[in-house]
Each structure stands twice: as C-alpha cells, then as structure tokens.
Amino acid sequence: MPEFRLYNSLTRSVEPFAPADGAKVTLYTCGPTVYNPAHLGNFRTFLFEDLLRRALHMRGWSVEQVMNLTDVDDKIIKRAAERSISITELTDPVCETFHADREFLRIQRAEHYPRATAFIPEMIDLVKRLEANGTAYKADDGSVYFAIDKFEGYGRLSRLDTREIRAGARVAQDDYAKENAQDFALWKAAKPEDEACGAVWDSPWGRGRPGWHLECSAMAMAILGETIDIHAGGVDLVFPHHEDEIAQSEAATGKPFARFWCHGEFLLTDGAKMAKRVGNVSTVADLRAEGVSAAALRHFVFSTHYRKQLNLSGAALEASTEAVRRIGDFSDRLSREKAGSAQLAEAADTLLIEATTALSDDLNAPRALGALFDFIHAANRAFDATGTDTSALARARNVFRQVNAVLDVVPDRGTDDSVLASWVDQQLADRAAARARRDFAAADQVRKALEEKGIAIEDSPTGTRWKKVR
Ligand code: AMP
Ligand code: ZN
C-alpha cells in the first residue's frame, strides 16, 4: 500500500502520517456550537472528518474520535438570554437534531461526544496549572487571561507576525480577528446574563464560566491524552481557536498538543461563506425537503478536494443525484449478476489500487470517485460480454464494498427513497391544491419540477400515481 499522507497546517506541507502508537489514531474534531441546527457548511467539515476517519480505518488503524458539543459560549448565552431560557433548555433539543442529521448523512458515530458543561472541573484544573506556572493571570475585571507573550510558540499555527502580538492588551470575547491577537480569556467572571441562564460555576476565581478555547483543550486532554495524533476542524478555526488551544495546552504540559492539524475549506453559497450570521444557510432539513439524498450530498461534497472551496448549487446537487443513481443502478446489477470475467477482475484490481492510492494521498476523494466511475464503466462492459467466473464476481463485489465503505455513496433503497417519496407527496399535494383553486399554471410548474427530478405522474380516477423514470 502507498504511504498515507496528510496535509499538516502546522508545517504547511503534506507529510506521511501514522498514529504515534502504530495502531490507534487519536482524533479530536471540533464539534458544533449547539444554539441552532448545524448548517450544510458545518456538515461539509464533519463530512471531511468522516472521510478522514473512514480512510484511517481503510488503512487498518483503529480510531478513537472525540467530537465535542459546545454547549456554553458567548453565542449560546446571548441566544438563551434573548429567549429567557436556560442554556440547557436551548442546547438539549439542538444536540438531538445534530445526531439525527448526522445519522441521515451517514456520518459515523464518534467514540465520544463530550458536552463542555460536563467538563468544568477539568477546565478549572487546566487554568490552575497555567496560573501556577505564570502563563495565566487574573485581571481586574475578575476574569482569568492567558498571557500570550509567556508562550514562545504563540502564533506558529496561524503564522501570526510576532510584531502583531499585543501582550498585556486583553480580548474577552470568544471569537476575534487576527489583528486583535491579545491575551485571551480562559475563565470569564460571571455577568448577570450568565447567572440568568445557568451558565455559571464556582471556581477559585469566583463564579464564572469557561472561555470557548479552554473547553476543547480540557476535553481533548481529559479523554485522549496530552498529545493527540490529529486535531481537525474548518479553516476558520485556525485563528484564534486552534492557536489558543495550542497555547493553553502546551503551556500546561510542555508537550506538543497535536501532531497533525487538519483543516477543511468552506462551503459557499453564491460565493460567500455559508454562515449563520450571513443568513445564507441551508440545513439537512432543507435538503430532505428538496428530496436530496444523503448519498447525493456525500457525492457532491467528495467531488471537490477538502482543501478547496466548494459552492453549493441546485445544479450541482442535481448532477450528484444523477451520479449516485448510476452508482446505485450498478450496485443493483452487481448483486444481480451471477458471474464475471477476467476483465471484471482486472477492473476491480485497478479500482482497489487507484482508490487506495488516491485516498492515501491527502484524502483525494475526487480522484477516488473518478476511479469508481471508470470501474463501473469497465465492469458494465464486462458484464455485457457475459462470463462464467464466479471468483471474479466475488472480487468485484468485495472491492466495490471496500471503496464504498469509505465514500458511502450508494443510495439507500430505504431512507433515500423514502426522502424522495415524501418530497413527491408534498409536491403532489401542492399540485392538487393548485388545481382545486384552478391555478393551472402553478399545477404545471409542479409537474415540471417533478419531471426535472425524473418523476412521471399519471392522473386516474382513484388519484395521482407517480413513478421514477430515470
Ligand atoms: P461552529 O458550530 O460554528 O463552531 O462550527 C462547527 C464546524 O463547522 C467548525 O469546524 C467550523 O470550522 C465549520 N464551519 C463553519 N462554517 C463553515 C462553512 N461555511 N464551510 C465549512 N465548514 C464550516
Ligand atoms: Zn475546538
């Protein structure tokens, strides 16, 4: 097998990767801030991490993955205060939606989903360690800050120009720009709005709550140890989140916090980063309402390398829906056929080599998908020519299963079809309503929308029937 290589943001280069202990990869992935259902931009990052996890499995390593759920931070407190509810009342239902959406997209379950509020003692201990060695100090606003000029490596991950570092100046909010690289809050003194929504804990520095960056360091080290193999997230986390995580963790332990830092690029809509504050988000619920399957979204996301920006569009999702339909048809044929030929076995061998090579080369999923389509083409030709070799067929099935175990792009006859069916039912109800109010133009529009998705409809005295024609 080719060497497994990953781009490491720390060194700005693609490097050979293997777990430190040779067998198990410890992987920390920054999870969602649970004040709103995660959007497809967040899920692009989680899908990149799912690809990473599955590619590591493909290489025969086991994976222990942590994905935290940030259930206390500035944004959550603000939202809870607006609604006059507790942070738990706000975050509990969002955590449930997250898991339902994750399962829909077939993102494998991580081993741990720690909630920040369950790790407050570990966070306090970390701040105590930093205070004891002089890298943390309590300021006159009652909060505890990290002194960035006391940590030599500060700014290494995000290539911060050291002239920009303003020691002594302090930034209290969780998220801030690079121009504001200042001492950041580890532990924030309680404000009345924190008390009101239950975001407060006792600490040696008085009542307060953790800063966002501290949460990840404490949870990662408590569960995975002081040096982890891979830490991943979206590119927007490089600064300040990951820079600050490194500072707090390494200043406390004197050991490297993560050996590899891996970052996925943004999902865009109309050229702008998909973000809640921009207001251009779509969610898994929207996707389901449009009848787009998990397989299609996975195909869409994996068709672009994770370190390139990707624009969400209806046309691209349509193309992916069509692509996975071909994959699904082929998968059916593979189950139906009774034997293969030497050409089939050869095509399978090629697929295995090319897909493993591509996925081992900094997770080149677009190339792996290309190899999969080449295989489907060659295998269909081999089947058309008929054969009698049952071991060739077994080989083809086995390789197809192995590659799909990483990409997971075969439409599911159960879930995916039922998503489509409920979308069609909704369209038919809209069409019936339009006809009832004699709005035939609207009814025709619905029929066109259905045709575009390959659905033919037929009216009969007992109601409207539909079928998939392509
Ligand atoms: P958040 O819930 O904002 O903490 O984000 C959760 C994850 O989604 C982080 O890894 C972010 O970097 C990532 N993320 C946020 N917006 C996008 C986007 N538009 N495209 C890709 N990843 C994103
Ligand atoms: Zn984090």
Average pLDDT across the chain, whole number? 95
CA-closest residue to ligand 1 atom 6: 32
Mean pLDDT over residues 196-211, rounded? 97
The reply to whether 313 and 430 lie within a common domain is no
Is the pLDDT confidence value at 166 over 80?
no
The reply to whether 131 and 144 lie within a common domain is yes
pLDDT in tens, 120-130: 999 999 999 99
The reply to whether 301 and 425 lie within a common domain is no
* Candidate from 76, 101, 107, 236 with most ligand 1 atoms within 8 A of CB, to mutate: 236
| Residue 364 beta carbon below 6 angstroms from any ligand 1 atom | no
The reply to whether 238 and 312 lie within a common domain is no
The reply to whether 281 and 391 lie within a common domain is yes
Give the separation between CA 397 and CA 47, rounded to whole angstroms.
25
**283 Cβ partners below 8 Å, 6+ apart?**
37, 38, 39, 40, 101
pLDDT band at 373 (very low <50, low <70, confident <90, very high): very high
Give the separation between CA 463 and CA 68, rounded to whole angstroms.
49
pLDDT in tens, 259-300: 999 999 999 999 999 998 888 999 999 999 999 999 999 999
| Residue 217 beta carbon below 6 angstroms from any ligand 1 atom | no
The reply to whether 94 and 107 lie within a common domain is yes
The reply to whether 371 and 453 lie within a common domain is no
The reply to whether 381 and 358 lie within a common domain is yes
Residue 330 sits in which domain range? 268-407
Ligand 1: atom nearest CA of 235 is 12
CA-closest residue to ligand 1 atom 17: 41
Residue 8 lies in a domain: no
pTM equals 0.91
CA-closest residue to ligand 1 atom 7: 42
**What's the total number of domains in the chain?**
3
Among residues 214, 235, 264, the one where a domain terminates is 264
What separation in Å is there between the alpha carbon of 160 and the centre of ligand 1? 22
Residue 221: both structure tokens together: 């080290």
Ligand 1: atom nearest CA of 31 is 6
Which pLDDT belongs to residue 328? 97
Is the pLDDT confidence value at 168 over 90?
no
**307 Cβ partners below 8 Å, 6+ apart?**
7, 263, 264, 265, 362
Ligand 1: atom nearest CA of 38 is 2
Which pLDDT belongs to residue 460? 83
The string of DSSP codes covering 50-117 is HHHHHHHHHTT-EEEEEE-BB-SSHHHHHHHHHHT--HHHHHHHHHHHHHHHHHHTTPPPPSB--BGG
Residue bearing the bigger pLDDT, 408 or 419: 408
Give the separation between CA 437 and CA 430, rounded to whole angstroms.
11
Residue 7 lies in a domain: no
